[in-house]
Each structure stands twice: as C-alpha cells, then as structure tokens.
Amino acid sequence: MLISLILLGVLFVITAALAQTYHARVEGLVSEWFQKGNADLANGKPALAFEDFRNSLSYGPDNPEVQLRLAEALLADGRFTEARSYLVNLWDRAPGSGEVNLDLAHVSMQTGDVDQTIRYFRGAIFGSWEKEPALQRRKVRLELCEFLLSHRMTNDAQAEIAGLAADTPAGNGVLLEENGRLFLRGGEPGKALTEFEAALQIDPRQSQWLADAGQVAFEDGDFLKAEAYFSKSYRENPTNDVQASLALVRNVLGNDPFLAGLSDEEQARRAWRDFKLGLERLHNCAGTSKAGLSSGQSTSDLLPANKDAQDLQKRVNLRSLTGNPALRTEAMQFVSRIEDATSRMCGPGTGLDQALTLIEKRHEGNNP
C-alpha cells in the first residue's frame, strides 16, 4: 500500500508537469489562431478568419472572446444562422453583454425578426461594454433609431431619439447635430432645431450646422429664421446648395403677401405680383403642353384654372386688392391652384414658382 501511495504521488507530479506544459501549449495555440483570425478579419477575409477562429476554439472551446469573434466572422461572411447559434450560446452565459446583444441584433435584422432585433438592440444599449461604454451605447442607439425609422416605427424611433438626446453630453456639438438630424428624420423639426441651436452655441460659425438649422427652420415654415441661418452659413462657407436655399427663402420672404408686419399696400402689391406670375406660369405651361403632350395626357387639368383666371382677371388688380384681404386670399388661392395644376402638367416649378408654392403651403389652413 505504501508503495502504491508513493507511486500515486510520483504519477501525480508527472501528470501535473505534463498538464502544465500541455495547457501552456494549448493556450499558445488559442492565442496564435485567434490573432491570425483577427488579422484575416481585418484584411476582409472572413472565410479564412472563420477557419482560424474555429481552430482557436477547438483548443479553447469556452473562450467567449474567440466565440464572439467567430460569430462576427460568420456574420461578416453572411452565415447568419451559424453565427446566431454561437451568439445565443454566449448570450445564455452573458445576457448582459452589449457586444453579444448587438451581434444578435444584427443577426435578427438579417433574418427579418423585428421584435427580436429591437429586443437585442435594447439589450446592447443597457448591456455592459468593456471599452468606451458611453460611446458604444450611443452607437447602438443610433443604429436602433435608424432601424426603427427604416421600419416606419416613428413613435418608437422618437422615444429612442429622445433618449439619445437626453444622454448626449452638452458640450459635444457633433453629437448634438447628429441628434438634430435624427429628430428631423423622425418628423420632429422643432426638437431638431433645438439640437442644432444647442450645437451652434458651442460653435456658432460651423457652416454645416448653420445650414442644417436653416433647413430645419425652413421645413418648419420659419422662413425668417431659415434666412438668418442660411445667410450666416453662406458667409462662413459659400456653397451652391446653401446659396440655392437662401435664394428660395428670400423669394418666399420677398413675395409672401401674408408676412407679418407688412402694410396693406405692400400686401396688395405682393399679391398682385404673385397673381401675375401665376397667370404667366399658366400660359407658359398651356403653351408648352399643347406642343408636347403625349397621347395619354390632356390639357383638361388646366381648363378650370384657365376659366378661373378669366373670371378673376376681371376683378383682380392692384387697386381692388388694396384694402381687400378676402380678395387677396382668393387671388393667392388661385395662384396655388395654378401651381398645383402646372406642376402636374409641366413639372415642379423653380425659382419664384417654387416660392409661390411654399407661400401657399405655409398659409394653408390659416386663410379665411
């Protein structure tokens, strides 16, 4: 018995030494293949990377880092079902891992499972991240917002964007501007403008932010504010796009008879000018249409407008418009009808015509 116990001790020591050497070798192989996989993945060779990670995993099957990278290689190679299996396994062990949740969200996105996608995105937002957690969470939230917007889930998207804005540090203009763009896409221009203005407080001369703020104000119908932002943006960085936007806003502001603070004469003058422009657009379009209409089209859309024009022309002039807001409104409504009809027949108007359309839209519903 004593000899047996001594033998057992000797065998124990030998086995321990062997096991130590073996584990060192195995750990070396895990690391070796893992690094090779990372390099292949970085070089855009996901299929090779996937084989490398598999090799690595065969020596360290419990290594979650390798499993995650393997799943990511599979994702990059478009093998979503296989990736999902590994990720689900990882998720079971670490349901709070932000990275795993994000990868699972990507897989679910690919398989068209909207509910799961949202669930995993939220898991990633509230999950743990080893490096730069705040930045990672923001990235995930942005992705979730994009996903929700692309699936027309506007209410959910608005809630996420609001959450994103609430978590955004006040001193980062880039992030604020990013929020603004999202609010804009989510149909909340007012909130978008707030974000842009917050960004501009940090850097008031950032031309792109100024242009964005101008655009939001423009879409919100606040042309005065839009004009101010566009002109500032143009001063900082005179681009064609901003120039065009600025010209359009100025056309609106220069021709809108309903603009607050205008005298009655000025309103009449503007309405009279707009009316004449409308008539001109009608005649031009009718002339072009007769020459260029295809067999399926007719000038019938223009006929009612033409009839109204003949009727109104008898009543509308600069004098009759002065002191007669109702007639001014009627004249502008006529202009709007003309723009609609000519847009359908001859394409959308540009320059002043576009401005007239915007003026009418701006006051739609407010007219008596």
Partner 1 sequence: MSDPNIPVEETQVAAPVLSAAPKDSGLQWFSSKAHLLTLSEGNLFLLLAIIIGMFSGLAVVCFRIAIEWTRLGLLGSALAPPPLRVLLVPALAGLVVAFLVQKFFPRARGNGVNQTKAAVYVFDGFVPFRTVIGKFLTCSLAIGSGQSLGPEDPSLQMGAGIASALGRRLRLSRDRLRLLAPVGAAAGLAAAFNAPISAVLFVIEEVIGTWSASALGAIVLAAVSSAVIMRSFLGGEPMFRVPAYTLGHPAELLAYAVLGVVSGVLSLAFTKIIAYFRPRLRALPEWTHYFQPAAAGLLIGFVGLRIPQSMGTGYPYIDQALHSQYTWEILAILGFAKILTTSLSFVSGTPGGMFAPTLFIGAMIGGAIGGLEHHFFPQVSASVAPFALVGMGTFFAGFLRVPITSVFMVVETTGSYSIVLPVMISNTIAYLISRKYQDVALFDLLAKQDNLELPSMEEQREQIVLRVEDAMRKPDLPPLQASDTLARALEIAETSTEEILLVRFPTGRWAGIARKDLHALASEHAKESQLREVLSSARLPILHPDQRLDDVLRFIQGHALLPVVSRAGSRKLEGVLSLPDILTAYQRAT
Based on its alpha-carbon atoms, the radius of gyration of the chain, rounded to whole angstroms, reads 33
**Any long-range contacts for 294-297 (C-beta under 8 Å, 24+ apart)?**
297/345
Per CB under 8 A, the list member of 37, 40, 59, 124 interacting with partner 1 is 59
| CB-based contacts of 107, cutoff 8 Å, min separation 6 | 75, 80, 83, 84, 87
Indicate the SS3 state at residue 221: coil
Site string for partner 1, 338-357 (x = CB under 8 A): --------------------
Per CB under 8 A, the list member of 6, 39, 78, 89 interacting with partner 1 is 89
Per CB under 8 A, the list member of 35, 43, 85, 243 interacting with partner 1 is 85
Contact 178, 141 (CB under 8 A): no
Minimum distance of partner 1 from residue 3's CB (angstroms): 8
> What part of residues 142-201 is at the interface with partner 1 (CB under 8 A)?
none
Minimum distance of partner 1 from residue 130's CB (angstroms): 22
Query: In this complex, which beta carbon is closest to partner 1, that of residue 3 or of residue 260?
Result: 3
Minimum distance of partner 1 from residue 89's CB (angstroms): 5
Site string for partner 1, 90-129 (x = CB under 8 A): --x-------------------------------------
Reference 90, options 76, 74, 78; nearest CA is 74
Minimum distance of partner 1 from residue 22's CB (angstroms): 5
Kindly state whether residue 39 participates in binding partner 1, applying the rule CB under 8 A: no
DSSP 45-103: -HHHHHHHHHHHHHH-TT-HHHHHHHHHHHHHTT-HHHHHHHHHHHHHH-TTBHHHHHH
Applying CB under 8 A, the span of 25-33, 111-119, 194-202, 205-213 interacting with partner 1 comes to 25-33
Applying CB under 8 A, the span of 23-31, 119-127, 303-311, 360-368 interacting with partner 1 comes to 23-31
CA–CA dist 328, 320 (Å, integer): 9
Per CB under 8 A, the list member of 51, 113, 156, 236 interacting with partner 1 is 51
Minimum distance of partner 1 from residue 127's CB (angstroms): 18
Applying CB under 8 A, the span of 28-36, 165-173, 237-245, 359-367 interacting with partner 1 comes to 28-36
Q: Where are the alpha helices (DSSP H) in the chain?
A: 2-42, 46-59, 64-76, 80-93, 98-111, 114-126, 133-150, 154-166, 173-185, 189-202, 207-219, 223-236, 240-255, 264-292, 302-315, 318-321, 325-346, 352-363
Minimum distance of partner 1 from residue 67's CB (angstroms): 9
